């Protein structure tokens, strides 16, 4: 693809899965050196929902020094990657941790111009009534939506892959969109939207063109990786350029987050992208 190809405009790189061969604070500069001006992150302190000011300031300084904008941030979700898949529907300590994190994450997002906050739903817990978990989830998502609205951000709801996340209840586009609509109805803010992760949806066997046709107008962020190995586009079976063409044609003009596992050094994994590094904005 030549540099006139516009499918890869507004591409960002997820620094929680790429450039992980480097310490966290060196990753923004590495992304910038590879030509990216936008990045996203899972919550960078997986066991600390309320890190001290020094840690938050250090990450902010690393982003600013590199000239990278944080365009997406997860709320506290436990250990990722790992067995955890969010905290907001988990009764007890983990829910308390999520609640403690909400304002911290929202304030950090505002301080760096981040306009999308992703809230992972959390696993089903054996012996706990699923309806009780759903009620707790709605309560906490309402809290998160209001915090996101306060800082001018969208609240994202993501479906994960059933094979990798067998206890996570949102494993279809329809399920994630339904939760987003439930949150919007509860708050009246209309700022909850679908995070369309093409890798997870494809692993679940969804018809991706149909998902795009049906839900593009309710999508607040897109993430990509190839199937089945979660590698860079071109390493698997998905025609990602065609899917991005369809997304753009459907009116989606937001960020495309690279959330794949590099096969080797991260900086060498971007050869599939069209155009010069300066075009990745």
How far apart (Å, rounded) are the C-alpha atoms in residues 150 and 236? Answer: 40
Cis omega (within 30 of 0) on the bond before 81? yes
Residues in the chain: 281
**Residues with Cβ < 8 Å from 96, sequence gap 6 or more?**
none
Q: What is the DSSP code (8-state) at residue 86? A: B
Q: Going by DSSP bridges, is the β-strand pair 219-224/154-158 parallel, antiparallel, or unpaired? A: unpaired
Q: Which of 85, 88, 139, 145 is nearest to 116 (CA)?
A: 145
How far apart (Å, rounded) are the C-alpha atoms in residues 184 and 38? Answer: 28
Q: Which of 133, 123, 117, 194 is nearest to 158 (CA)?
A: 194
Q: Which of 194, 193, 109 is nearest to 150 (CA)?
A: 109
Q: Which of 185, 198, 252 is nearest to 220 (CA)?
A: 252
- Supply the residues annotated as catalytic: 158, 259
Cis omega (within 30 of 0) on the bond before 20? no
């Amino acid at each position: 693809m030549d540099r006139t190809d516009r499918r890869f405009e507004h591409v960002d790189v997820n620094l929680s899965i790429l450039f992980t061969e480097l310490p966290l604070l060196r990753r923004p500069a590495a992304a910038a050196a590879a030509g990216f001006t936008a990045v996203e992150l899972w919550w960078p302190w997986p066991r600390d929902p309320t890190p001290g000011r020094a840690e938050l300031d250090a990450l902010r300084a690393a982003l600013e020094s590199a000239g990278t904008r944080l365009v997406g941030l997860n709320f506290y979700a436990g250990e990722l990657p790992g067995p955890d898949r969010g905290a907001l529907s988990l009764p007890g300590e983990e829910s308390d941790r999520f609640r403690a994190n909400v304002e911290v994450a929202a304030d950090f997002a505002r301080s760096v111009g981040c306009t999308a906050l992703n809230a992972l739903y959390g696993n089903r817990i054996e012996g706990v009534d699923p309806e009780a978990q759903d009620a707790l989830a709605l309560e906490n998502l309402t809290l998160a939506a209001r915090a996101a609205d306060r800082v001018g951000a969208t609240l994202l709801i993501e479906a994960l892959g059933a094979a990798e996340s067998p206890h996570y209840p949102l494993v279809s586009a329809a399920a994630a969109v339904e939760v987003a609509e439930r949150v919007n109805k509860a708050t009246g803010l209309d700022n909850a939207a679908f995070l369309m992760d093409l890798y997870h949806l494809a692993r679940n066997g969804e018809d991706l063109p149909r998902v795009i046709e049906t839900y593009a107008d309710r999508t607040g962020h897109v993430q990509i990786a190839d199937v089945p190995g979660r590698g860079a586009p071109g390493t698997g079976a998905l025609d990602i350029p065609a899917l991005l063409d369809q997304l753009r044609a459907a009116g989606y003009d937001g960020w495309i987050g690279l959330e794949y596992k590099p096969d080797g050094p991260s900086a060498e994994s971007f050869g599939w992208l069209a155009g010069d590094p300066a075009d990745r904005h």
